[in-house]
Structure 1
Amino acid sequence: MKKICQWLDIQVGYVHNLEKNLSALEKTMEELRAKLDDLSRRVTREEDRGLQRLSEFQVWLTRVETFENEANNLLIAGNGQLQRLCLLGFCSKSLILSYRYGKSVSMTLREVEKLNSKVFEVIVEQAHTFEVEERQLQSTIVGLKEMLENAWNHLMEDRVGIMGFYGMGGVGKTTLITQLNNKFSGMTCGFDFVIWVVVSKELQVEKIQSEIARKLRLESRFQQHKTDAKWHSLPVPRLYVRTWALKNQWKSRAENKGYDIIGNLVRASLLMEVKWYGTKNVCMHDVVREMALWIASDLGAQKEAFIVRAGAGLSEMPKVENCNVVRRMALIKNKIHHLSSSHEYLELTTLLLQKANLTNISSEFFKSMPRLAVLDLSYNGNLFELPYGISQLVSLQYLNLSYTSIRHLPRGVQELKKLIHLDLEETDNLSNIDGILSSLHNLKILNLSRAGFSLDCNILEELQTLEHLEILTIEIDLQQGLEQFLSSHKLTRATRNLTIRGMQLESSGISLPISMENLREFNIVWCSISEIKMGTICLESKTVSPLDNPRTSCFLSLSKVIILDCKCVMELTLLMFAPNLRDLSVKSAKKLEDVINKEKSRHGEKSGIVPFRRLEFLLLGDLPELKNIYWNSLPFPCLKRMDIIRCPNLKKLPLDSQSGKHGGNGVIIRYTVKEWIETVEWIDEATKTRFLRSCLHVSETQNQDNQPHSSVPT
């Protein structure tokens, strides 16, 4: 009887507790969505660094998406269902419908609560890639099969770490080892790489180390550390357990922590998300900023410690009663044409003067700022000169001169021995910096994008002397400079953004070294380049050799690519091996036939690589010969928008009815030629029905105004 009563109580509760369960479902879903957003951002950052998500987390993610849709449908119908209730919620005008609905709400609530209670300490792991280079067999040896099986069985034993073969010349040692090497091909046996290294009689440890580093794609790190005395004392199997690995791990953790802090501030409404030239940024509300300043100034007791006069219409430096207490000063967006103040700011560490309409700075201005560490003079278009007196900023670590009109850097810049970050982006008038960079021994971050001078061999040699350089943004328009740059481990490894402009390389093409592990943005503008390949740097000849049959993903950090006005390129198969590419724009490539070429990508396809899994925006414009993006349909799990502008021969899109289902509100296909959509050959009727609803004809003007991609470098 007791069990019957409990059963009845549950059944009645589906109707009687409906309002309470709906409220709980809505609240729990809000918490689950916030948790989903946090974990998704976290896993995205980790995947950008080459890690892969755990299967357990992926299963949880799929279940969340399933129950989110179910919960949304139930919540949408909630008001109508509640109106059916009567007798204080104990009955309904349509009892059967209310019972069924209430039961669905209760069961969904239970599942959502389970999902929300799930705790993930770890959501990613090291990506398991497997690479083996097959070697050609010159001959076969009688009786080798049994010997091969014995050797293979020994090699697969957990306790075996080293195995050797001996015998007189010609008995088949090399053939046997070649057979063992090739046996790994196509198998996953717990090894990431199988490396073949030939050792001569004259043992050269460094050459062995170099070859292993090349196969592991650690050439740049090997070059960086091979001069270390401790390095030479380590045996070969232990060479790569080095402190740089820990250092990179610490950096990743610190960056993740920073993103987590910003995410917490955004959710707490202490920071606001805004878009700035197509990218997401955060800003602080005026009221919150005033409160932060009040707290930082010891609850208002030290108001002059932080001087913030942004957009205040100032024509000169603000008057301060006691200059010696000022620690940070922000004078952004003002009308301060001339800086000549000789006041002593002995404690000033930060001075922000962006968009201050500066035209002149006297040498006296920097005379008494011994602790100034951050100086931002960006976006002062009428500032043509820097005073030599900048040399007196002996503590300066950050100097931003981007978007100014300075013609040269004064020799006083060479005295900034503590400078870590130098930004010279868009300094069109800057003609030469020879001899400056090599003096800045502590420089870690350098932005030379669209600077007025060409990167010749002298400047590149100076860059290679910067021992601590970690992040480089660079633009190259000289062929000799490009060759020298691409063959440098140090510079390619440090490069985050690379633009190649105005090159004539129809015969040779270019090969991007796979050691460019930090490359995030790659632009090719106004070039006659026949082919873009992956390559490896040869340590001895200091050249880049093309990698003809790539099998594994390489450019793990690459998220944005712009190809503009490259009239000779016929395919961009390289992009298949950039698993985290989010934004792709290809315009005015007159000979481009395939984005991914079927023949050149066959090895990658056999390895299980599926291109464009992270792609969000795709723009294809003025490509008269383009026939294929990819030859099969692709899942496009993140794709939000596809823009097709004057591509008359593109008849087939790599889409099926399941493509792009997780890209927010679905994939939007925008096109500018009205007749084009009628020529598209859909894979089946279901695909046509699904995507035709999201196809949108726009004018050229509309397409430019609503472009998700950031502006192409000019």
Structure 2
Amino acid sequence: MGNICSISLPADRIVSSFWDGTTEHANYLRKLPENLVELGTAWERLKELRNDVKRKVDIAEREQMQPLDQVQGWLSRVETLETQVTQLIGDGTDEVEKKCLGGCCPRHCRTRYKLGKRVARKLKEVDILMSRRPSDVVAERLPSPRVGERPSEATVGMNSRIGKVWSSLHQEQVGIIGLYGLGGVGKTTLLTQINNAFTKRTHDFDFVIWATVSKNVNLENIQDDIWKKIGFCDDKWKSKSRDEKATSIWRVLSEKRFVLLLDDLWERLTLSDVGVPFQSKKNKIVFTTRSEEVCAQMEADKKIKVECLTWTESWELFRMKLGEDTLDFHPEIPELAQAVAQECCGLPLVLTTIGRGLVRRRRRNGSMGDKVFPLLKYSYDCLPTEVARSCFLYCSLFPEDYQMPKIILIYQWICEGFLGEFDDMEGAQNQGYNIIGTLIHACLLEETNNDYKVKLHDVIRDMALWIACGTGKEQHEFLVEAVCGLTEAPEVARWMEPKRISLIGNQIEKLTGSPNCPNLLTLFLRDNNLKMISDSFFQFMPNLRVLDLTRNSITELPRGISNLVSLQFLDLSHTKIKELPIELKNLDKLKCLGLVSMYELSSIPEQLISSLLMLQVINMFDCGICDGDEALVEELESLKYLHDLGVTITNVSAFKRLLSPDKLRSCISRLGLQNFNGSSSFNITSLSNVKNLQELHISNCGSLEDLEIDWVGEGKKTVESNYLQPWVGGHRKVFEVEGPNMGCFCSKP
């Protein structure tokens, strides 16, 4: 007989196993209402726990602590579960209510079974998350760099100065230290060296914080500088009010030891307004200023005057900037160095400026006086052309610390007549960029963080105004009262002689009368509060070429603007003008017209634009005109000399019309596409042929699902969502896309 293998199982285990499985599945059906209630209750408990954890995380973040990864993960899983549980409870409630046969049986047992099974499993997930809730420790304090090293060049004569400040910082009775001295003497350089010394020397401060103040104090900028060092400068921070920021800064710094380095104070800064606590001298504040009086206003425990360099230090610095080759080039150069050191007491800025200037020129050109500005003027005198000197002095019309867009500056130079060597706009622009490069290399202009803007150093601007307003043939040609708090324009008698007047950044509300200005070429009135200009105001300005009314509250232009028969540059951007007057047709020499962000503008007279036959630059981006796009494009086509065009288009047909003629397409540098609704597919790859396009802004095009741009051309390509500056140029490429249905946006090199 063959072997027989038998397996015997107890009958009760078989029955039990079968019964347990049957019961579990039956419970999915039978206990659905009960499980739904239990799931809802468990979920409410989990939400309460989640809220407690999130509250702890928020408190930790305010204290500059980093939430633990496991806590972030747990919160993320709870957030994911919330949608699922909410949907499941809703579906389960609906299913329970669906009964038939007198309300005793569900209509669809299979559906009810699946739903019951999902509810039971989701209840287990909630229980598991409850059991794995985070401990009381939800975050940790990350070590932050106590001080960040700032870039600096090689210096001369700083060791003794640093030692003096450093020893003062370690004196218990000293809390506030004021460093004061002449502009250009090296105060900022010294403060930079103090900052960097903290990276190399032992100290027990939690934070070493740098903030730049400058003449026009912006408390929120100072608060942002501080918070970047002690907190997380994210969108949540940026949305806070100034008082809220002050409270946050106070809460953190009141429990820390810190050193606050404030550069370029011009007046008393109330620390509590910023949020800086200063109840004890365990914390230190060091600031720089040109005025000893500010040291008293800040109640400095110690004042340290930053002296000019000694002769030995001056000579060392001068040799460093000059280089041995240049130093030996001409026998008069050592004599010049001695004159510099003696006549300005070794002012580092002057030594650096002249030294670098001589490296390029390798010859002495210009006389030296007995004051600082004549010494600074040496670099001005060494500029290669009179045009470059005129362009440099023109920069002094702008306020202190003002960042000048290069392209606007160049257009103003062109319209003033400085760049008349070239008949074509492109040639004049290139000449303008070359001059900007020359001024930067001569240390008379400074580059900013934005490669399309430049600025003047405070001392250099003061020197430029000294030249423009007080010496030689330029005397009385400039009237500059920018950011002076004026509520009324200067008296009429002062308008007679100047060629250039700048009243930027005041609070002037109206311009009345008829000032006689036979010489006036440039008038800057931007950033005031102008609400009214009388019809006769422009009556006696026959030679005015540049007029800037940007960022004012005027709602209409005076009809007397037709008297400005020589006007070539007119900027009305960011004003509240509702309609352009037909009298603008008289401005037949106009080359540049700015109408950026004129949101109230609802009407441009027919044939006005096309009548401006000499127009070469026009920026109409976001100017409020939403109808008549095609008629506008037709007028733009007729402009024979158009070179640079900025425009916003609101429909497809106008867009196609804009790109159809080669000449018009080649002029486009800034383009906005807005409110293109009703077209589900829209091909803008034709922009690949717009060689000079620098900025593209797409907004409120809700029906566009896919945009692809093949970009051809030179320059940096970036994606930005920043505020559109009027007439921004240079070589920047900007793509800005807004709208809920922007499915894809890509740029290809």
What is the TM-score normalised by the length of structure 1?
Answer: 0.41
Query: Looking at CA atoms only, which structure, 1 or 2, has the larger radius of gyration?
Result: 2
What is the TM-score normalised by the length of structure 2?
Answer: 0.39
Greater per-residue helix proportion:
2
Q: Which of the pair has the greater relative contact order for Cα pairs under 8 Å at 6+ separation?
A: 2
